């Protein structure tokens, strides 16, 4: 995302990100690998235990996260 992107100001001026990360550290894009790094621990600690308890789990997400999950589950 560049500074001329329609949502640049909306994202970069969001008060939730006022102190962290620093402007220079703020990610301008995200890869499947980035999504997977955040999602896999949640999968292992929250979703898998619920499935082992026999609960039905619905996962709704965007393409990158689901792609990362599919890569993880298929061993890619």
pTM (whole model) above 0.75: no
pLDDT value for 75: 87
Break the chain into its structural domains and give their ranges.
Answer: 8-74
Of 38, 30, 28, the C-alpha closest to 7 is 28
When the pLDDT of each residue in the chain is averaged and rounded to a whole number, the result is 84
Contact 44, 76 (CB under 8 A): no
Question: Does the pLDDT of residue 56 top 80, yes or no?
Answer: yes
Q: How far is residue 38's CA from residue 54's CA, in Å, rounded to a whole number?
A: 25
pLDDT value for 74: 93
Residue range 21-31, pLDDT digits in tens:
666 676 677 78
pLDDT value for 29: 74
Phi-psi domain of 62 (left: phi exceeds 0; alpha: psi -120 through 50; beta: other): beta
């Amino acid at each position: 995302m560049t500074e001329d992107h329609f949502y640049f100001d909306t994202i970069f001026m969001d008060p939730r990100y006022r102190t962290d990360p620093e402007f220079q550290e703020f990610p301008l894009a995200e890869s499947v690998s980035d999504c997977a790094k955040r999602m896999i621990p949640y999968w292992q600690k929250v979703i898998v235990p619920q499935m082992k308890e026999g609960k039905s789990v619905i996962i709704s997400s965007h393409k990158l996260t689901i792609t990362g999950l599919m890569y993880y589950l298929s061993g890619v």
